[in-house]
């Protein structure tokens, strides 16, 4: 288990990646476990179904063949009834364990504590703040340079409720999936088997492999996008962690009398976020031009406010998976990333890298879920081809390769 120690110098991107990956790993592990349990029972089901007599002659099945068919059918039906009961019990147990971990509260209070610590450090008084122990998801208590106050805690609690609601939907999907998936797999080949019209066992196994390789799908967000369990958990975690970090930091700034901030983002920022990067935003709703005391000299300066933080959010900034952060702005000082311009090519390169990562993960999942050696070799060749394409892309663009995103435990979407 990764250990996470709050550090005011740690980047928001690092915090988001670490915490959201911890969350998505929980749900990816749960997904892998239920799929494995389904696969074990489906393999036995296919084995029994494959023993049913299917060769017919003019007179139909012989007496011995019919007796054998009846015996296998009885065993098959008993296996299916037992498998459905077992899968339901396993799924409920896994979902209950996820709920008991209280993941939403742990990661968001950790993120908020980091946000306050980062803001405090930037404002130059982190050392004067009391020390508090903040438990990290799955790990021991860590030490923070700032204490969450009641007001700040209430704000984070609202985010916790929102993330909890999302994760509860995933837990319910995990509970339903094993039975639904098992019955779906049975339906793939059972009608043909009973009619004596089955496709080859290899083709049946390939269909089952593709189905299992999809993971637990069927979850649709309010935007109409379909997600796997791990992908949705990671997206929800990234979004909520970034919001908790920024909100706690903004709260700390306001407690210090600072109501102006500026947005800092990545060079490959998306089209929605780019217009706000390097802009001055008000944290208290103030708009227009203000004459304010210079931060370091005995004079005043006119500060142009480009908009409020809520206006930025309403226009798309801070969207799901956004990595931008709000930092304090002090009148008269340099604005980080002033004059930032949207780089369409950089965004397209980032999207292409994400696509190649999905291709690699998809091929790896086909490899590990293969039902026979021929399919496994074919999938392994696909993995090698996808990785070769990624190497060529990295060499051409100079982007940093993120191997962690190519591993199976990273969420697919």
Question: Which of these ranges, 216-225, 316-325, 386-395, has the smallest mean pLDDT?
Answer: 216-225
Give 357-366 pLDDT, tens digit per residue. Answer: 989 988 887 8
| Residue 157: alpha-carbon gap to chain centroid | 21
Spell out the residues 6+ positions from residue 363 whose beta carbon is closer than 8 angstroms to its own.
379, 382, 383, 385, 386
Tell me how crowded residue 184 is: count the other CB atoms within 10 A of its CB. Answer: 14
In this prediction, residues 368-381 reach a mean pLDDT of 81
Q: For residue 388, what is the enclosing H or E element? A: helix 373-397
Q: Which region, left, alpha or beta, applies to residue 193 given φ > 0 means left and ψ of -120 to 50 means alpha?
A: alpha
Q: Give the residue from 291, 167, 294 showing the smallest Cα distance to 234.
A: 167
pLDDT score of 121 more than 70: yes
The stretch 221-245 carries a mean pLDDT of 80
What integer is the mean pLDDT of 154-160? 82
User: Could you tell me if 387 and 401 are in contact, meaning their C-beta atoms sit under 8 angstroms apart?
Assistant: no
Q: What is the mean pLDDT of residues 232-252?
A: 88
Instruction: List the one residue out of 337, 347, 339 whose CA is nearest residue 397.
Output: 347
Distance of CA 306 to the CA centre of its chain: 32
Which residue bears the tokens 């012989």? 62
pLDDT at 130 over 50: no
Q: Is residue 291 classed as helix, strand or coil in its secondary structure?
A: strand
Quickly list DSSP for 90-110: HHHHHHHHHHHTTHHHHHHHH
Q: What residue segments make up the domains of the chain, in order of their start?
A: 12-236, 258-342, 345-406
- Among the listed ranges 141-145, 172-176, 301-305, 337-341, which one has the minimum average pLDDT value? 141-145
Q: pLDDT of 2-58, one tens digit each?
A: 444 445 567 788 888 888 888 888 888 888 888 888 888 888 888 887 787 765 555
Say what the pTM is. 0.74
Exposure letters 392-402 (e unless 16+ CB within 10 A, then b): ebeeeeeeeee
**With contact defined as beta carbons under 8 Å apart, do 45 and 38 qualify?**
no
Distance CA 273, CA 240 (A): 17
User: Would you state the structure tokens that stand for residue 184, as one six-digit string?
Assistant: 């779906």
Question: What pLDDT does residue 295 have?
Answer: 87
209-213 long-range contacts (CB < 8 A, ≥24 apart) are 209/366, 209/369, 209/370, 209/371, 209/375, 210/366, 211/181, 211/184, 211/185, 212/35, 212/38, 212/39, 212/181, 212/185, 212/369, 213/362, 213/365, 213/366, 213/369
Give me the pLDDT at residue 329, please. 92
- Which pLDDT band, with edges at 50, 70 and 90, does 402 fall under? confident
């Amino acid at each position: 288990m990764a250990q996470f120690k709050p550090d005011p110098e740690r980047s928001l991107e690092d915090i988001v990646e670490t915490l959201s990956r911890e969350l998505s790993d929980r749900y990816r592990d749960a997904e892998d476990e239920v799929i494995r349990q389904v696969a074990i029972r489906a393999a036995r089901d296919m084995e029994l179904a494959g023993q049913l007599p299917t060769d017919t002659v003019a007179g139909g099945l012989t007496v011995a063949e019919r007796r054998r068919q009846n015996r296998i059918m009885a065993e098959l039906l008993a296996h299916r009834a037992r498998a459905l009961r077992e899968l339901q019990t396993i799924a409920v147990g896994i979902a209950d364990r996820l709920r008991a971990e209280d993941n939403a509260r742990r990661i968001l209070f950790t993120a908020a504590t980091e946000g306050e610590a980062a803001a405090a450090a930037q404002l130059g008084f982190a050392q004067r703040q009391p020390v508090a122990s903040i438990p990290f998801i799955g790990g021991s208590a860590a030490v923070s340079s700032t204490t969450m106050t009641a007001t700040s805690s209430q704000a984070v609690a609202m985010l916790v409720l929102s993330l909890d609601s999302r994760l509860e939907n995933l837990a319910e999907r995990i509970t339903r999936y094993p039975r639904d998936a098992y019955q779906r797999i049975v339906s793939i080949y059972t009608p043909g088997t009973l009619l004596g019209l089955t496709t080859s066992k290899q083709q049946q196994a390939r269909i089952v492999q593709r189905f299992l390789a999809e993971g637990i799908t069927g979850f649709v967000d309010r935007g109409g996008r379909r997600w796997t369990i791990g992908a949705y958990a990671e997206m929800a975690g990234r979004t909520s962690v970034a919001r908790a970090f920024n909100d706690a930091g903004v709260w700390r700034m306001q407690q210090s009398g600072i109501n102006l901030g500026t947005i800092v983002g990545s060079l490959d920022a998306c089209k929605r976020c780019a217009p706000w990067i390097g802009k001055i935003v008000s944290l208290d709703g103030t708009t227009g031009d203000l004459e304010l005391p210079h931060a370091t000299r005995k004079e005043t300066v006119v500060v142009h406010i480009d908009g409020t933080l809520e206006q930025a959010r309403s226009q798309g900034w801070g969207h799901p998976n956004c990595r931008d952060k709000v930092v304090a702005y002090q009148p008269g000082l340099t604005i980080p990333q002033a004059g930032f311009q949207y780089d369409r090519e950089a965004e397209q390169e980032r999207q292409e890298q994400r696509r190649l990562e999905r291709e690699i993960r998809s091929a790896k999942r086909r490899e590990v879920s293969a039902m026979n050696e021929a399919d496994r070799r074919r999938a392994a060749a696909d993995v090698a081809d996808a990785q070769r394409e990624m190497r060529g892309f990295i060499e051409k663009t100079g982007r940093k390769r993120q191997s962690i995103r190519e591993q199976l435990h990273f969420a697919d979407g």
